[in-house]
Amino acid sequence: MIIKLKNKHTLEVDEFQFRCSIGKNGISKKKKEGDLCTPKGTFGLKKIFYRSDRVTFDGSQIDSQKITKRMGWCDDVRSKYYNKLVNIQKKIKHEKLFRKDNKYDYLIVLDYNLKKIIRGKGSAIFLHLTKNYKPTAGCIAIKKQDFEILLKLIKKNTFLKI
């Protein structure tokens, strides 16, 4: 199954269409850390993370993990942990996964720059939640209700085409 970004405001899955938001600076084939662009390409869905204190998650064919207060995603281009899940430390620049807002109550890590990580090519590219469809820092964001429908549709071999 392929989830397609039909245009910068619409994700398409089979007969479903979901309103979405993407990176503030659009889509780029040459994604760089901090450029506010969503990377162009076709990406697997690596893992689902969720806040068990805020959402009820019944599981999926894709690996999943509860988000804890100590979880972060390294976005420090100088770190050996660049573009990886980390336990939060002051020494490592990171994005917190356990957020006060609801953006990461659910998130899916896209298989972007994960196999052979290139520092500076972009990190923390997720499909996550939005309440207002404001542009993202490079991710794709949809409403919670749509995310929950999507969770029922996706399988291990699902890809997201941007």
CB 27 within 8 A of CB 39: yes
Which domains does the chain possess?
2-161 (2.40.440.10)
Among residues 88, 75, 86, 81, the alpha carbon closest in space to that of 139 is found at: 75
pLDDT tens readout for residues 36-82 = 999 999 999 999 999 999 999 988 889 999 999 999 999 999 999 99
Query: According to the model, what pLDDT value does residue 50 have?
Result: 98
Helix (H) and strand (E) counts for the chain? 1, 14
pLDDT tens readout for residues 30-47 = 999 999 999 999 999 999
For the CA atoms of 74, 76, 82, 87, the dihedral, rounded to the nearest 10 degrees, stands at -30
Region 8-19 average pLDDT: 93
| Main-chain dihedrals φ then ψ at residue 26, nearest 5 degrees | 85, -150
Global pTM reads: 0.94
Residue with tokens 């979901």: 18
Region 87-95 average pLDDT: 87
